[in-house]
């Protein structure tokens, strides 16, 4: 069998297969594979198979979610081609015949988020934090709460399983450079030791990507501010075995306990930290928010080691 006749230029390669010319652009995803087959004795048959597979993909059309479809090898939302890291992941899953529906539904909901920054970066956050998607396109995260299931900072939001917590989106700080600010806070499993405390609970929350407002820049993108979430359950025995039930792996079993806690004017704990410096920064943030006239940092034995009040920090 004769080898394939071809001409190779900067723009691509033109081959003659079964008496017909075919041009493959250098930008085509099949380009490198076609080049690798040019010198083979069975190159004609193999290149025809590659080109036919590419043609089938271009003809393929799938309805992924409301207003979203896969057509011509790309993902479109309301007729507009989408480009992002998450979209590339979705295309790869479709081509590999994997279960793509949770990610497709996630992306469709994400398109309803008014923040371009969140649209561009949220999926990377989920991958870094190993945060799972649900079948309807939401995702699951964690939240540390008080012994009575109220939120740690204000004590006003009920986080018992089955509850829905929400606030107006325009009341949530969208600036990612403000790491502790207004909004409903949720996190990945890896962030929990920075905020959980042993006389409270850890709950599992379900969040729509449309309701994410900011991903603060600290802690390697492992926490976020949202405007709404649903509490779907409690992470049982977190303080005993540190087991991540979402990932089914106890990744932080045996982890060192945080050595410093931040307390408000009522001596209620509002955060736990490994670093004294981070504990001081958090105490200053709480005080600056204006809700407390005195905020303290205590060591693991309960002694006050730093205070900020109207007279300053000491």
Could you give the CA distance from residue 155 to residue 150 in angstroms, rounded to a whole number?
A: 5
Question: According to the model, what pLDDT value does residue 272 have?
Answer: 66
Are the C-beta atoms of residues 223 and 196 closer than 8 Å to each other? no
What is residue 71's predicted lDDT score, i.e. its pLDDT? 82
pTM attached to this predicted model: 0.63
Q: What CA–CA distance (Å, rounded) separates 227 from 184?
A: 6
- Distance, in Å, from the CA atom of 156 to the CA atom of 169, rounded to the nearest integer, reads 17
Which residue, 236, 146, 154, 252, is CA-closest to 198?
A: 146
Q: Distance between alpha carbon 13 and the CA centroid of its chain, in Å?
A: 40
3-state secondary structure 255-302: CCCCCEEEECCCCCEEEEECCHHHHHHHHHHHHHCCCCCEEEEEECCC
Could you read off the pLDDT tens digit of each residue along the chain, which spans 314 residues?
567 888 888 888 888 888 888 888 887 777 888 888 887 888 888 888 887 877 666 666 778 888 888 887 788 898 899 988 888 888 888 877 788 899 999 999 999 999 999 998 899 888 888 889 999 999 999 998 988 999 887 888 999 999 999 999 999 988 877 777 788 999 888 888 766 666 788 999 999 999 999 987 665 667 889 999 999 999 877 766 655 556 553 343 333 345 677 877 777 766 666 566 667 777 777 777 766 578 888 876 677 878 888 877 77
Residue that has been written with the tokens 């600290």 in this structure: 218
- pLDDT at position 238 is 75
Q: What is the pLDDT of residue 244?
A: 59
Joined tokens for residue 119: 């649209």
Q: Are 179 and 173 in contact (CB under 8 A)?
A: no
Nearest to 22 by CA among 1, 41, 43: 43
């Amino acid at each position: 069998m004769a080898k394939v006749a071809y001409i190779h230029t900067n723009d691509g390669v033109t081959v003659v297969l079964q008496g017909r010319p075919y041009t493959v652009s250098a930008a085509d995803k099949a380009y490198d594979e076609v080049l690798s087959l040019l010198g083979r004795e069975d190159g004609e048959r193999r290149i025809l198979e590659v080109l036919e597979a590419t043609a089938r993909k271009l003809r393929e059309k799938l309805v992924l979610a409301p207003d979203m479809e896969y057509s011509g090898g790309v993902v479109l939302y309301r007729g507009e081609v989408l480009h992002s890291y998450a979209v590339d992941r979705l295309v790869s899953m479709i081509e590999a015949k994997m279960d793509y529906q949770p990610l497709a539904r996630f992306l469709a909901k994400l398109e309803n988020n008014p923040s371009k920054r969140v649209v561009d970066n949220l999926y990377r956050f989920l991958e870094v934090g190993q945060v799972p998607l649900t079948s309807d396109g939401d995702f699951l995260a964690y939240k540390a709460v008080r012994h009575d299931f109220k939120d740690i900072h204000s004590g006003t939001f009920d986080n018992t399983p089955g509850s829905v917590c929400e606030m107006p989106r325009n009341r949530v700080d969208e600036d990612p450079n403000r790491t502790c600010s207004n909004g409903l806070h949720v996190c990945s499993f890896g962030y929990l030791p920075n905020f959980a405390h042993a006389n409270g609970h850890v709950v599992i929350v379900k969040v729509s990507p449309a309701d994410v407002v900011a991903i603060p820049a600290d802690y390697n993108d492992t926490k976020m501010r949202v405007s709404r979430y649903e509490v779907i359950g409690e992470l049982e025995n977190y303080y005993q075995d540190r087991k991540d039930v979402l990932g089914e792996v106890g990744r932080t079993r045996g982890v060192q306990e945080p050595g410093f806690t931040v307390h408000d004017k009522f001596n209620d704990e509002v955060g736990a930290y490994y670093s004294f410096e981070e504990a001081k920064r958090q105490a200053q943030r709480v005080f600056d928010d204006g809700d407390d006239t005195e905020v303290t940092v205590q060591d693991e034995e309960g002694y006050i080691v730093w205070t900020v009040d109207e007279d300053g920090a000491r």
